Amino acid sequence: MEQLPFAELNDAWKQADKDETRAVADTWAKAAKRIEGVSRETLETSAAMYLAEKALLKKHGANGITINCLGDFMAGTFMLIRAWAFIN
């Protein structure tokens, strides 16, 4: 097990390729029966986090990820988003 600073995930999220982010969001939107209460911006933000998490899994040779999202959210260092449901 390896513990990473949240800043590494945040940096990977900010660096996510914009075209790939839009493509992932498009794939999710096309596969959905319907989308309610989720803006396109939120969908793309979530897609960027999905890509960031996949990049860190690959970079660290890992096959799983957990995030102290509540602790980081309460500290103001993490924005809650919907990406985790899509990690394979």
pTM confidence score: 0.79
Question: Would you say how long the chain is, in residues?
Answer: 88
pLDDT tens, per residue, the chain with 88 residues: 888 888 898 899 999 999 999 999 999 999 999 988 888 998 999 899 999 999 999 999 999 988 776 666 666 655 555 555 555 4
The 8 Å CB, 24+ separation contacts for 1-5 are 2/60, 2/62, 4/56, 4/60
Q: Which of these, 59, 72, 62, lies nearest to 10 by C-alpha position?
A: 72
